[in-house]
Amino acid sequence: MRFEHVLVVGAGQMGGGIAQVVAASGRRVSLHDAAPGTVERGLETMRKSLTRLAEKGGPDPDEVLGRVEPADDLVPADLMIEAVVEDARIKEDVFQRADGLLPGEAILASNTSSIPITSLAAVTSRPDRVIGMHFFNPVPVLTLVEVIRGLETSDETAAAITELARDLGKTPAEARDFPGFVSNRILMPFINEAVYALMEGVAEAEAIDTIAKLGFAHPMGPLALADLIGLDTCVAIMEVLHEGLGDPKYAPCPLLRQYVQAGRLGRKSGRGFYDYP
Ligand SMILES: NC(=O)c1ccc[n+]([C@@H]2O[C@H](COP(=O)([O-])OP(=O)(O)OC[C@H]3O[C@@H](n4cnc5c(N)ncnc54)[C@H](O)[C@@H]3O)[C@@H](O)[C@H]2O)c1
């Protein structure tokens, strides 16, 4: 399946990046977000990213952006990639509506970090055509796509999405539908522990991040990474791990929750563990 027309739902950090790489591969993209002005902001971010990439030999930004159409609501397409907030109820509603609107043969994919693909599939009439297609942030730069098969996902669907990931220049890796899949089952407890170290006064934020960067050769420290991901998203993923695996070690650190309560969501709100003026 070539997926000539892709509907991307959610135009935040991830949805914008996904729309960009899909459009850069020559496909038509419809981009929808429920919050007014978000698609326009997403298009501006894409233009900046594409302009930087064009300087290094990337495609013409106007040509790529010419393939992205803002959509006021869900529209029929060959494939939906959902990238709305990490909230099971909201995602289920999107999947249910998409199932009623997209042609029967279309595939419905989610970029969820942790919500079970099987439960998103269960609200549709096509569980064999529902799959996890988990991109990494920033999408135009990081090359991994974690492909997650729900209980009923067919081999054809998994093969089509794996092939699409390769065609987007990404490297797919398959994971089973367990809470947090592979990436966030490993990453989130690491971030959460770093927040505990901060809360308990073991070290300042800069020292925690320096130790991880230089000691483990990570490109960025866990607190800076949490700011990039979004602290609200981190709490939501820890809650899925906690509930799904039933082990108290996955409970979100109280300081992480408190920052979210204060509206300190990381880069996207201008302030998290660090300030982003
Ligand atoms: N941030 C990351 O590093 C990262 C990495 C991989 C996967 N993800 C996953 O990607 C998804 C989106 O994360 P994000 O970081 O882009 O969040 P974000 O907060 O930047 O964007 C989410 C967008 O969803 C929109 N939205 C909410 N409800 C909607 C609805 N019913 N219909 C249409 N749009 C709706 C919001 O207006 C917002 O613009 C989440 O599932 C998250 O777990 C995030």
Residue 273 in domain: no
> 88: CA distance to ligand 1 center in Å?
12
Asked if the structure places residue 213 within a domain, the reply is yes
Residue 171 has pLDDT above 90, yes or no: yes
Give the mean pLDDT of 155-180.
Answer: 97
Q: Can you give the pLDDT at residue 1?
A: 78
User: Mean of the per-residue pLDDT values for the chain?
Assistant: 97
Split at pLDDT 50, 70, 90, the class of 2 is: confident
Query: How far apart are the CA of 19 and the centre of ligand 1, in A?
Result: 13
132: in domain: yes
Q: What is the pLDDT of residue 145?
A: 98
Q: Is the peptide bond before 138 cis (omega within 30 degrees of 0)?
A: yes
Last residue of a domain, one of 119, 147, 176: 176
64 and 160 inside one domain: yes
Answer yes or no: is 276 within a domain.
no
Is 239 one of the annotated active-site residues of the chain? Answer: no
Q: How far apart are CA 212 and CA 210, in angstroms?
A: 5
User: Which pLDDT value is given to residue 150?
Assistant: 97
Q: For residue 134, indicate whether it is catalytic.
A: yes
Q: How confident is the model at residue 80 (pLDDT cuts 50, 70, 90)?
A: very high
pLDDT tens digit sequence for 244-273: 999 999 999 999 999 999 999 999 999 999
Query: Given the CA of residue 16, which atom of ligand 1 is nearest to it?
Result: 16
How is residue 34 written in tokens?
């429920």
Residue 92 lies in a domain: yes
| CB of 226 closer than 8 Å to CB of 273 | yes
Q: What is the CATH number of the domain that holds 124?
A: 3.40.50.720
Regarding whether 221 and 116 lie in a shared domain, the answer is no
In a domain, 250, yes or no: yes
| Alpha carbon nearest to ligand 1 atom 38, residue | 12
Which of 176, 209, 236 is the last residue before a domain boundary? 176
φ, ψ at 70 (rounded to 5°): -65, 140
Q: Does the annotation mark 184 as catalytic?
A: yes
Is 243 strand, coil or helix? helix
For the chain, give the percent of residues with pLDDT over 90: 99
200 plus 144 within the same structural domain = no
C-alpha 85 to ligand 1 mean position (Å): 4
Residue 87 CA, ligand 1 centroid: distance in Å: 9
For residue 35, give the ligand 1 atom closest to its CA: 37
Predicted pLDDT of residue 153: 98
HSE-up of residue 238 (Cα within 13 Å, Cβ side): 24
Q: Which of 7, 14, 46 maximizes ligand 1 atoms within 8 Å of its Cβ, making it the mutation to test the pocket?
A: 14
Q: In the Cβ-directed half-sphere of 28, how many Cα atoms lie within 13 Å? A: 8
Domain boundary among 144, 176, 208: 176
Predicted local confidence at residue 257, as pLDDT: 98
Residue 76 lies in a domain: yes
* Choice from 8, 9, 13, 94 to test ligand 1 binding pocket (greatest atom count within 8 A of CB): 13
pLDDT at 172 over 90: yes
State whether 149 and 110 are in the same domain.
yes
Hey, what are 245's tokens? 């695996």
Of 49, 110, 113, 192, the active-site residue reads 113
* 233, two tokens: 């998203």
C-beta of residue 123 within 8 angstroms of C-beta of residue 95: yes
Residue 83 shares a structural domain with residue 55:
yes
Q: Based on the domain organization, do 172 and 193 belong to the same domain? A: no
pLDDT at 103: 98
**Structural domains of the chain, count:** 2
Judgement on whether residues 253 and 207 belong to the same structural domain of the protein = yes
Is 132 found in the same domain as 23?
Answer: yes
How confident is the model over 69-77, as a mean pLDDT?
98
Q: Domain range for residue 234?
A: 184-267
> Do residues 170 and 73 both lie within one domain?
yes
Closest residue CA from atom 7 of ligand 1: 113
Q: Does residue 256 share a domain with residue 150?
A: no
pLDDT digits (tens, 9 = 90+) for 32-52: 999 999 999 999 999 999 999
**Ligand 1 interacting residues, C-beta cut-off 6 A:** 9-15, 32-35, 38, 83-86, 90, 94, 111-113, 134-137, 229-230, 233, 268
82 is an active site residue: no
For ligand 1, the distance from its centroid to the CA atom of residue 215, given in whole angstroms, is: 32
* φ, ψ at 82 (rounded to 5°): -90, 130
User: pLDDT tens, 82-115?
Assistant: 999 999 999 999 999 999 999 999 999 999 999 9
Residue 53 has pLDDT above 90, yes or no: yes
**pLDDT mean over 164-187:** 97
Give whole-number Cα distances, 160 to 26, 104, 116, 136, 150, in Å. 17, 16, 20, 19, 15
Average pLDDT over residues 216-243: 97
Both 68 and 194 in a single domain? no
Task: State the pTM of this model.
Answer: 0.94
